[in-house]
Amino acid sequence: MPSTTPKTRTRASAYWKGLADGAPFLLVVMPFATLFGVLATEAGLNVLETLLFSAMVFAGAAQFTALQLMQENAPTLVVLASALAVNLRVAMYSAALTPWIGAAPLWQRAIAAYFIVDQSYACSVMQFEKEPGMTIPQRMAYFIGVLTFIVPLWYICTGFGAVVGTQIPDSWALDFALPITFLAMVAPMLRSAPHVIAALVGIVVSLLAAGVPYSLGLIIAGTLGMITGARAEQWFEARKVPR
Quick check: 58 pLDDT over 70?
yes
Q: What confidence score (pLDDT) does residue 168 get?
A: 62
Q: What confidence score (pLDDT) does residue 209 get?
A: 84
What is the domain partition of the chain in residue ranges?
Answer: 11-189, 190-243
CA distances from 57 to 16, 74, 211 (A): 27, 19, 27
Residue type, position 129, single letter: E
Q: How far apart are CA 199 and CA 161, in angstroms?
A: 32
Q: How far apart are CA 213 and CA 159, in angstroms?
A: 30
**% of the chain beyond a pLDDT of 70:** 83
pTM: 0.70
